[in-house]
């Protein structure tokens, strides 16, 4: 990638921002040398690393690399057996502490560890905690070694403190002596060349015997080491030398310990520098809310809601740009300061950033092509030194582009062939664009030439675009509209600013009819676009409303399904309890019957048991009736019922005949086969009488009597156990006819299990009966395989 385009598209400013996010010198150097790549695999790897680092920042916060400093020289010194200084050892300690932080950062996610492109980097880091702890224990700062770094050093420093106290005590006694104090310039103890001295007046130097070590700049004060403390100072000096020797021993010992980890230290440093570089890219992406674009090798560009990264992200207007798929040349027109150049630079800068592994400030699923070269001719490149005018300097650049561009190039032109005669400039611009289009390059150009608008309209593979301008406010909206040629709006702007209408009308008269028609066409297109956008906005709003309604309906349906399942489950449980209670009652009744039958108990006892059962059934029916009464009926409640009317009891799903008129509460008796039950009128549906000619003819004579007779005599169950097959089928055939005439919804046929011959004969006969709707073996509580339940057609 040529360096000229990096400067033209301000890629270097992005790199400056990136460098600020790096901590180590080597990572900063990596940032400054970052250049766009042309290898798809490498680009995708760089983008994935940036994406994973950004994801970790969002989950666990920022990771500081402030402790990473170069240790190359220190490692080389260790390699040849040298000893490190305290500063060098502290740098290694700081590196290891940063490694420890990085290791903890990689484990900070509370959920299960998920592998990404950075997992391997973190896995290779070794904090070497024992080494860093030992260095930190022995070295307190760059200038201070801890007393307990070694027992010898601790002993030496204890002796130094004792010697120091002796010297100060001796010198304080001299200062406090009234005779000696008169010879001193100040009553203080000072140090010169590591030896304790007193500031003595120059004229009294003979009165204070000792060694002169220094004098003041004026010569009025001499710094004399009193003879009384010379020996003590000599001993103190020896202790200082011993202390320094012991410090060297401690540093040598730490250096030997560090040398054993040289290889891992080098690895830690390289990994931390690499992570510092990667996290710098992620931090930059976070600053402008960047995303990882998709890449292709076909040169397709599809930027969605792209924002130039060097503009204020709160004010910049996002743009959508497409290039390379439906068309390979995009011509952008419109008034000055409308955003044409910014759109041009955005496309070029996004391409460079994406190929360098940097995220772009755009929406998800934005797509970029991979180009071997990006060329840009933007801005005024006039050169006084080279005697080049604006047009000449641009043409020199264009010639270079024509000589180097190919089908893997992205070419950007700002105001192509401006600065010369408009007619010649437009013709030259069309020829240049046609040549580059023939090469297969992807081109985006801005212009004011109307001829280029016509060229775009009439040439395949070329598309118009414009930067929207609001004439009412005389300000651009900075929106890029693809498919619509731009309009200069010179007349409208001039009129809005107050130019005499006569001048504007005169100017309009001076443009050709074709140009005027073309401008009118552009105005009509703009009006149509605004109308379509408004309608599209309304459609999107309707779609959103429909989507919300659909979601509400789905939620409602889900609630209904849950409620239905709950009701069914409760109903099944209730039915099981009822069957169990009925079975218990039947068992108890049979036991009582056997008891009373064998013991010849009085009838009053049997009647008492019967009354108890009857009361229990009445209570259950009353409870059901009350529930039905309280519930609002969702059907038409029958009125003006008459005895003999056919009705259906909803709660029992049985048909019957009205046997009594409703009382004040709406309760009445209904005969359902052999069952006579008290129900509420709200639990009934009035059935339509048969209106066929036959029924009209006979009215309520024989048929009604048969129905009443059958309803009162036909049982809901027939027992065929002990019968032969022929006997059973004959009895079953008559019983089914009677049950069907009695309008029983279903019957229970008891045939027993046995060999299964009787069951098979019964079911074969049921298959031949036209009025039998369906049949099945009894379920749990109904008799299992020893019973067949048959249902009649209505």
DSSP state of 779: -
Q: So what's the pLDDT on residue 486?
A: 63
Q: So what's the pLDDT on residue 639?
A: 81
Task: Locate all alpha helices (DSSP H) within 356-421, ordered by sequence.
Answer: 390-404
Taking residue 2's Cβ as centre, other Cβ atoms within 10 Å add up to 13
Q: So what's the pLDDT on residue 346?
A: 92
pTM reported for the whole predicted model: 0.61
Which residues does the chain have with pLDDT short of 50?
Answer: 110-111, 382-388, 690-709
Residue 368 CB-half CA count within 13 A? 34
Strand partners, 670: 658, 677
Task: Locate all alpha helices (DSSP H) within 691-756, ordered by sequence.
Answer: 693-698, 702-713, 725-741
Give CA–CA dist 21/282, Å, rounded: 9
Secondary-structure percent of the chain, ordered helix, strand, coil, rounded to 5:
55, 15, 30
Write 248-254 long-range contacts (CB < 8 A, 24+): 248/83, 249/150, 249/152, 250/138, 250/145, 250/149, 250/150, 250/153, 251/83, 251/84, 251/85, 251/86, 251/89, 252/83, 254/84, 254/89, 254/134, 254/135, 254/138, 254/139
Q: Does residue 28 sit in helix, strand or coil?
A: helix
Give CA–CA dist 19/280, Å, rounded: 7
CA dihedral 606, 610, 616, 619 (to 10 degrees): -130
pLDDT digits (tens, 9 = 90+) for 683-733: 888 887 544 343 444 444 444 444 444 555 677 888 888 888 888 888 888
In degrees, rounded to 5, the angle at the alpha carbon of residue 251 between the alpha carbons of residues 248 and 257 is 140
Give CA–CA dist 499/85, Å, rounded: 79
Give CA–CA dist 105/282, Å, rounded: 15
Q: So what's the pLDDT on residue 444?
A: 93
Give CA–CA dist 297/38, Å, rounded: 10
């Amino acid at each position: 990638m040529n360096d000229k385009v990096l400067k033209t598209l301000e890629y270097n400013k992005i790199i400056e921002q990136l460098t600020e996010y790096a901590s180590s010198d080597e990572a900063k150097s990596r940032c400054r040398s970052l250049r766009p790549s042309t290898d798809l695999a490498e680009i995708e790897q760089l983008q994935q690393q940036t994406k994973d680092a950004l994801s970790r920042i969002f989950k666990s916060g920022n990771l500081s690399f402030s402790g990473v400093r170069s240790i190359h020289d220190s490692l080389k010194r260790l390699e040849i057996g040298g000893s490190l200084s305290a500063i060098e050892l502290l740098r290694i300690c700081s590196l290891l502490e940063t490694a420890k932080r990085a290791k903890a950062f990689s484990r900070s996610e509370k959920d299960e560890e998920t592998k990404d492109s950075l997992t391997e980097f973190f896995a290779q880091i070794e904090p070497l905690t024992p080494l860093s702890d030992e260095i930190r224990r022995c070295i307190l700062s760059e200038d201070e070694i801890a007393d307990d770094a070694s027992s010898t050093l601790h002993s030496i420093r204890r002796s130094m403190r004792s010697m120091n106290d002796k010297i100060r005590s001796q010198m304080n006694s001299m200062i406090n002596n009234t005779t000696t104090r008169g010879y001193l310039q100040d009553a203080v103890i000072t140090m010169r060349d590591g030896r304790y001295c007193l500031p003595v007046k120059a004229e009294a130097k003979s009165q204070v015997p000792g060694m002169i070590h220094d004098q003041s700049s004026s010569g009025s004060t001499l710094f004399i080491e009193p003879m009384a403390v010379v020996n003590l100072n000599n001993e103190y000096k020896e202790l200082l030398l011993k202390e320094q020797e012991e410090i060297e021993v401690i540093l040598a010992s730490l250096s030997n310990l560090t040398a054993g980890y040289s290889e891992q230290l080098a690895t830690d440093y390289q990994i931390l520098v690499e992570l510092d570089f990667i996290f710098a890219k992620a931090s930059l992406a976070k600053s402008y809310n960047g995303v990882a674009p998709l890449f292709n090798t076909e040169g397709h560009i599809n930027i969605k809601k792209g924002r130039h990264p060097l503009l204020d992200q709160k004010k910049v207007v996002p743009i959508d740009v497409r290039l390379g798929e439906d068309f390979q040349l995009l011509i952008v027109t419109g008034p000055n300061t409308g955003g044409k150049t910014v759109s041009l630079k955005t496309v070029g800068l996004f391409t460079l950033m994406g190929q360098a592994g940097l995220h772009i400030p755009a929406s998800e699923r934005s797509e970029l092509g991979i180009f071997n070269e990006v060329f840009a001719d933007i801005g005024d490149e006039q050169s006084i030194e080279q005697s080049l005018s604006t047009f000449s300097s641009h043409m020199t650049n264009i010639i270079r582009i024509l000589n180097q561009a190919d089908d893997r190039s992205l070419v950007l032109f700002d105001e192509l062939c401006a600065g010369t005669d408009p007619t010649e400039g437009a013709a030259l611009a069309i020829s240049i664009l046609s040549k580059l289009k023939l090469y297969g390059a992807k081109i985006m150009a801005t212009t004011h030439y109307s001829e280029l608008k016509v060229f775009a309209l009439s040439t395949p593979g070329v598309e118009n675009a414009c930067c929207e301008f609001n004439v009412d406010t005389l300000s651009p909206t900075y929106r890029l509209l693809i498919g619509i040629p731009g309009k200069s709006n010179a007349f409208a702007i001039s009129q809005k600013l107050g130019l005499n209408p006569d001048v504007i009308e005169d100017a309009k008269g001076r443009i050709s009819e074709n140009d005027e028609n073309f401008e009118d066409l552009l105005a009509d297109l703009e009006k149509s676009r605004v109308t379509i956008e408004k309608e599209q906005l309304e459609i999107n709003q309707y779609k959103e409303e429909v989507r919300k309604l659909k979601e509400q309906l789905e939620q409602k349906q889900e609630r209904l399904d849950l409620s239905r399942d709950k009701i069914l489950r409760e109903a099944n449980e209730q039915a099981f309890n009822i069957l169990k209670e009925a079975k218990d009652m039947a068992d108890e009744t049979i036991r009582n019957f056997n008891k009373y039958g064998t013991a010849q108990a009085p009838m009053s006892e049997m009647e008492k048991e019967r009354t108890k059962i009857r009361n229990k059934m009445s209570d259950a029916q009353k409870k059901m009736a009350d529930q039905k009464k309280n519930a609002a009926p969702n059907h038409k409640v029958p009125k003006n019922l008459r005895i003999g009317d056919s009705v259906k009891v909803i709660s029992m799903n049985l048909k019957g005949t009205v046997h009594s008129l409703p009382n004040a509460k709406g309760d009445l008796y209904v005969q359902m086969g052999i069952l006579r039950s008290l129900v509420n009128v709200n639990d009934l549906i009035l059935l339509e009488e048969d209106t066929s000619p036959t029924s009209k003819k006979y009215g309520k004579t024989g048929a009604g009597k048969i129905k009443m007779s059958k309803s009162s005599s036909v049982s809901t169950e027939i027992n065929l156990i002990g019968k032969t097959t022929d006997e059973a089928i004959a009895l079953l055939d008559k019983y089914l006819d009677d049950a069907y005439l009695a309008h029983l919804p279903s019957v229970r046929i008891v045939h027993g299990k046995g060999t299964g011959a009787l069951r098979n004969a019964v079911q074969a006969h049921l298959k031949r009966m036209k009025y039998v709707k369906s049949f099945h073996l009894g379920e749990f509580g109904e008799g299992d395989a020893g019973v067949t339940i048959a249902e009649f057609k209505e």
